Structure 1
Amino acid sequence: MIEMYRKGMSISDIARQTGRDRKTVRKAVKGTLQPAKKRKRQAKAVRKLSAYEGYLKQRMGEGVYNTRKLYRELRERGYQGGLTQVILYVQPYRPQRGEQAVMRFETTPGEQAQVDWGYFGSIDHEGRQRQLYVFVMTLCWSRAMYIEFTVNSTTDSFIRCHQHAFEYFGGVPREVLHDNLKSAVLGRERSGRIIWNERYLDYALYSGFTPHPCRPYRAQTKGKVERGIGYVRQNFWCGLRFADVADLNVQAHTWLNTIANPRVHGTTGAIPFERLGQEHLQVLPAQRFDTSLKVERYASRDCLVSYDGNFYSVPARWANTMLLVKETESREVLILNGLGELVAQHPKQPGRHKRVMVPAHYAGLPVRANQPAPGQAIQTARATLGDPLALPAPQVETRSLSIYGQLSEVGHD
C-alpha cells in the first residue's frame, strides 16, 4: 500500500485494488509519512536552538535544569523556538532521581500550610560572614507560596517570617505543618509528648493556627514545601546576583508575583493566585503581633550593652543589670528594663565593634577633676602626646658585661 501511494495512486484506488477499507489504507499511509514531516519540524527546531547550546550547557553546569527558567532566559536572549525543544534538549542531561513512590495527600481549602527552612550557604552581611536561610511557606490547597531570606533561623525570625507570609496571603490557615525545628519544637519526652518553644506556641495561639510537627524522620509528610524549596533553588536562586539581603528579598517578592504564583501549577493544573481567593483563610488579628527580635543582655559597668557585634549605651543607673534588647523591623534597637519600660533607643549599626554612646547616659556618674568624658580618653591622649609611636625612646644606662661577672662572684662568697 505504501509503495502504491508513493507511485501516485489515490487512497480509493489502493482500497479497491487491495480490498481494504479506505480508513485502513489512509491510517497505514499517513502513519508512515508522519514521522518524515515530524523529523523536518524537529530539524528546524534544532536549528533554532543550536545557537544557544553553549549557554544551555553553561547553565546546566551551574546546576540549572529547570526548563521553564532556561526557556525564559533563552527568550530574553532572542530564542524564537518553543518550550518543548528546550525540554527535549535538557532531558538527557538531567540527573536521575531514585525517589520512593508515596501516596499523595490533599487538604481542603484553608486547612493547612507547610513551612520549612532551606540552607543557602553563607554571604557577606554588614561586614561579616553570615549563614543564609530561606523561609518557605506553601498553602497546601492553592499551592500559593511565600519565601523570605534571613541570616539566621531563630524563633524570632521564624515568627517574623510567619507574620509576613500571613500578611502576603491575606489570612491565616487553620494548621501549620513543620518539621521538628528548634524554632518551634525543643524536643519530645519519652512518651512522645512535644516540648514546645513557648514563644512560638504563644504566637500560634495569638494568630489562631494549630502548629503540627511532622513525625520524626518523615520529612515527606511536608512534601509540598520540600518541593517548594527545590523549586526556589532551580527557578529563582541559580545564577542570581544581589547586593544584600534586602535586595535579595525584593527580587524574591518580584519572582513570587510574576513567576511562582501566576504560573499554572504542575500538580493542580491551576494558577495558585487564582485559587488563593478560594482558600477561605482566617482573618488576621486586628492588633499585629510584636515581631521584634529579642534577646537578654547584661549591661556592663561602663553602661554598654552588647548586641549583634556592637555596643549600645544605657543610662548609668542601669549599669550592671540584666536588660531586654529588641530589634524592630525598622532596625531600631530598643533596650527595656525588667518592667518592660524603655530605657534606651538607638539605630541599628552595621559592622562590628562599634560603640554607640549617648553623653546624657553618663550624666549621673561621679566625675573626678580633670577626668575626661567617656569615650574621650584616647582622643585626649593623642591630642596631648601626639602619635605614641613617634615619642623618643627613654635613656637607658649601658654597662660593661664584666660588671655582671663580678656581681656573680660576690653572690657565691
Structure 2
Amino acid sequence: METSMKIRGWILGDGRSIHSVARETGISRTTIKKYLRDPEQPRYRRRQPRVGSKLNAQFEARLRELFEHDLSLRRRDRRTAKKLYEELVAQGYTGSYSPVQRFVSELKKSSGTDGTDAFIPLYFAPGDALQFDWSEEYVLLGGVQHKVHVAHFRLCHSRKPFVVAYMNEKQEMVLDAFVRALTFFGGVPRRVIIDNPKTMVTYVSRSKDRIFHPRFLALMNHYVIEPVACTPASGWEKGQVENQVQFLRGELFTPRLAFNDLAALNAWLLLRCEELAERRHTDQQHRTIAEVFEDEKIELRPLGRPFDGYVEKTLRVRSTCLVQYDSNRYSVPCEHAGHHVSLRAYADRLVMIANDEIIAEHKRRFTRNISYFEPWHYVPLLDRKPGALRDGAPFVGWELPKSMEQIKDHYMREKGGDREFVDLLLLALEHGIDVVEMACDLAVEQRTLRLPAIINLVNQLLEPTIAPLAETHAYPQLTLRPEADCKRYETLCAAGRVAA
C-alpha cells in the first residue's frame, strides 16, 4: 500500500511521467498503470481454477468413516492423522500428507475432540531434569493379548526418549526402569519430575509436602537425584513426557504389536528410541535430538555403579517347601521348610536368601495361582519318601539328561528301583550333576546300568589322575640290587627298643 501511495503521488501530484517512475523504481509500467487505475494494492488473480487435491470425495468419505470408528474407541486407541494417512496410502491414495492433516483437523474441531488449551512454555537447562510417567498399552505376546505397563522417560532439554515395558507397575519395576533409563542415557540429571503413585510417594499433605517411599528414596540417594512430585491433576508440569505418551502410543503401539515375549518387545522398543532420536529437535530445528543430546550428555553426572533394584520381604516357608509372592508359589530347598527366608523381588527374577546366602532363584512369573518347582530342592526328601518320585508334583515333567532318563526308566520297571534311582540322585547332589551324567553316559555305553557299577564309575571320575613321569631315563639308576635280609629288620627293632 505504501508503494502504491508513493507512485500515485509522484505521477498525479508531482506530474512525473510513467516512464521516469518505472525507470527509478524498477516497477513495470503495466503495474504502475494498475496503481493509477485502482488506489488499492494490486492483488494476484488466478486465471485458471486451482487443480483439485488428490484427496477426493472417495478418500474423504473413507477418512470420515475411519475417524468416526475411532471415536467409539478409547482415546489411547485412536489413530493419529499420520496413521490415518498411512491407512489411505495402503488403499491407493497418492496425494501428500498435508490435505489429510487439514481434513482430520477439521473433523476434530467439528466433533469437539481437538482438546485445545493454553499452557505456559517451560525451559530446562542441559542436564537439569528428567520426566517420568507410566502408560498402559495392549500388545500380543506369544499370540495372547496382554496389557503391558510402559515406563516413559524423557530428558527435558534434548527431548531424548526412553521407554521400557513391564507386566505391572510394582515398585521393583519402577526401580528397574530407572536403572535402565539412566544406563541408556549414560549419565544422571539433577532432578526427576514424577507423578504421585504409591510406589514413589506415600503421602501428600494439604500443603503439598511429600513423603517419598523409603525404597524409592534409596534409589534417589544412590544416584543423588532430587525427586520433584507434580501437583495432583497438573500434568502440564511434566508436559513433555505426557505428550510423549500420546505420540508414542500412535507411533509405536498402533496398530497392535506382536512379539514372542516381553524381552523381544523391549529390544524392539530400545531400537525405536534410537531411531526417534534422529527427528528434528523442537526448539532447534537445524539439529536432531541425538545431536542436542550429545551436548546435554556432557552436563550429566557420571553414572557410577548401578542400583540394586529389588524389593525385600520376609516370608515363611510352607511345609511344602514353597513361598508365596504375587499370587504364585516358588520352591526353596527342603531344609528351610517352616523357617523364615528373605525374598528379594526384581523385575525379572526372585531371589531367596537365608543366613546371608542365596538358597534359591526363580524367573519372575506373571501368572496367577501356579506353583513353580525346582525338583532338586525336594531330592533330599526322597531319601525318606522314595515313592514320591513317581507321583510327586515337583517331579512331573522333570527333564533329566538323556542317559539318566534311560537309567530311570530301567530302574522304575523293577521292584525297589525307585530307591536305587533316589540313591543316584543323592549322589548327584553330593558330587554334582555333571560328574554323575558322565558316569551315566559311560554306564549306558558299557551296558552296566546297575547302581554299584555307576558308583564305581563316579569314583573313577573323581580319583585324581597321576601324570606319567617324563624322561624316566634321566633318573638315577640302582647300581646294587637290594636283597631280602630279615636280620636287618630285627636289628632295626632292637635299636628302636633301645631308643624308647
TM-score, length-normalised on structure 1? 0.73
Matching of residue 319 in structure 1 with residue 337 in structure 2: yes
Matching of residue 112 in structure 1 with residue 129 in structure 2: yes
**C-alpha spacing 1:61/1:275, structure 2 compared with 1 (3 Å):** farther
Secondary structure (helix, strand or coil) at the match of 1:45 reads: coil
Number of aligned residue pairs: 359
Counterparts of 2:387 and 2:159, CA distance in 1: 66
Shift of 1:293: 5.9
| Paired position in structure 2 for 1:81 | 95
Summarize the alignment of residues 72-151 of structure 1 with structure 2, pairs less than 5 Å apart: 72=86, 79-94=93-108, 95-120=112-137, 131-151=147-167
Summarize the alignment of residues 248-327 of structure 1 with structure 2, pairs less than 5 Å apart: 248-258=265-275, 260-266=276-282, 269=285, 270-279=287-296, 280-292=298-310, 294-326=312-344
Secondary structure (helix, strand or coil) at the match of 1:117 reads: strand
Is the Cα–Cα contact under 8 Å of residues 315 and 342 in structure 2 kept in the other structure? yes
1 or 2, which has the higher helix percentage? 2
Counterparts of 1:348 and 1:181, CA distance in 2: 23
Shift of 1:205: 1.2
Q: 1:54 aligns with which of 40, 47, 62?
A: 62
Which residue identity does 1:285 align to in structure 2? L
**C-alpha spacing 1:168/1:68, structure 2 compared with 1 (3 Å):** farther
Deviates further, 245-254 or 122-131: 122-131
Shift of 1:67: 2.8
Shift of 1:203: 0.8
Shift of 1:217: 3.2
**C-alpha spacing 1:378/1:136, structure 2 compared with 1 (3 Å):** closer
Matching of residue 202 in structure 1 with residue 243 in structure 2: no
Which residue identity does 2:231 align to in structure 1? R
Which residue identity does 1:54 align to in structure 2? R
Counterparts of 2:249 and 2:141, CA distance in 1: 20
**C-alpha spacing 1:52/1:354, structure 2 compared with 1 (3 Å):** farther
Shift of 1:304: 1.4
Q: 1:45 aligns with which of 45, 51, 54?
A: 54
Which residue identity does 1:155 align to in structure 2? Q
Shift of 1:106: 0.8
Q: How much identity, in percent, do the aligned residues show?
A: 22
Counterparts of 1:198 and 1:119, CA distance in 2: 26
**C-alpha spacing 1:372/1:288, structure 2 compared with 1 (3 Å):** same
Shift of 1:227: 1.3
Give 1 or 2 for the bigger CA radius of gyration: 2
User: What per-residue deviation string (whole Å, max 9, x for no partner) do you get for residues 302-353 of structure 1?
Assistant: 2112344443322223112232334556x4442112x431012344567552
Which residue identity does 1:167 align to in structure 2? T
**C-alpha spacing 1:256/1:196, structure 2 compared with 1 (3 Å):** same
Counterparts of 1:145 and 1:264, CA distance in 2: 13
Is the Cα–Cα contact under 8 Å of residues 110 and 141 in structure 1 kept in the other structure? yes
Counterparts of 1:284 and 1:354, CA distance in 2: 42
**C-alpha spacing 1:164/1:77, structure 2 compared with 1 (3 Å):** farther
Q: 1:182 aligns with which of 176, 188, 198?
A: 198
Matching of residue 164 in structure 1 with residue 180 in structure 2: yes
Secondary structure (helix, strand or coil) at the match of 1:275 reads: helix
Counterparts of 1:127 and 1:318, CA distance in 2: 39
Secondary structure (helix, strand or coil) at the match of 1:85 reads: helix
| Paired position in structure 1 for 2:253 | 237
**C-alpha spacing 1:69/1:19, structure 2 compared with 1 (3 Å):** same
**C-alpha spacing 1:287/1:296, structure 2 compared with 1 (3 Å):** same
**C-alpha spacing 1:100/1:328, structure 2 compared with 1 (3 Å):** closer
Which residue identity does 1:256 align to in structure 2? C
Secondary structure (helix, strand or coil) at the match of 1:62 reads: helix
Shift of 1:297: 3.3
Is the Cα–Cα contact under 8 Å of residues 334 and 344 in structure 1 kept in the other structure? yes
Counterparts of 2:255 and 2:66, CA distance in 1: 11
Is the Cα–Cα contact under 8 Å of residues 126 and 351 in structure 1 kept in the other structure? no
Q: Which ranges of structure 2 fall in alignment gaps of 5 or more residues?
A: 1-27, 72-77, 397-411, 413-500
Deviates further, 353-362 or 164-173: 353-362
Counterparts of 1:15 and 1:235, CA distance in 2: 54
Counterparts of 1:314 and 1:282, CA distance in 2: 43
Is the Cα–Cα contact under 8 Å of residues 140 and 258 in structure 2 kept in the other structure? no
User: What per-residue deviation string (whole Å, max 9, x for no partner) do you get for residues 169-193 of structure 1?
Assistant: 2222110001112121111356654
Is the Cα–Cα contact under 8 Å of residues 54 and 95 in structure 2 kept in the other structure? yes
Counterparts of 2:251 and 2:152, CA distance in 1: 14
Counterparts of 1:179 and 1:53, CA distance in 2: 41
Matching of residue 67 in structure 1 with residue 81 in structure 2: yes
Which residue identity does 1:112 align to in structure 2? A
Secondary structure (helix, strand or coil) at the match of 1:103 reads: coil
**C-alpha spacing 1:313/1:220, structure 2 compared with 1 (3 Å):** same
Which residue identity does 1:286 align to in structure 2? G
User: What per-residue deviation string (whole Å, max 9, x for no partner) do you get for residues 347-381 of structure 1?
Assistant: 4567552441334545268826x76359538999x
Secondary structure (helix, strand or coil) at the match of 1:68 reads: helix
Secondary structure (helix, strand or coil) at the match of 1:367 reads: coil
**C-alpha spacing 1:268/1:231, structure 2 compared with 1 (3 Å):** farther
| Paired position in structure 1 for 2:46 | 33
Q: Which ranges of structure 1 fall in alignment gaps of 5 or more residues?
A: 1-10, 384-413
Summarize the alignment of residues 292-371 of structure 1 with structure 2, pairs less than 5 Å apart: 292=310, 294-326=312-344, 331-337=348-354, 339-348=355-364, 351=367, 353-363=370-380, 367=384
Counterparts of 1:237 and 1:321, CA distance in 2: 46
Counterparts of 1:378 and 1:238, CA distance in 2: 42
Counterparts of 2:104 and 2:173, CA distance in 1: 38
Shift of 1:130: 6.1
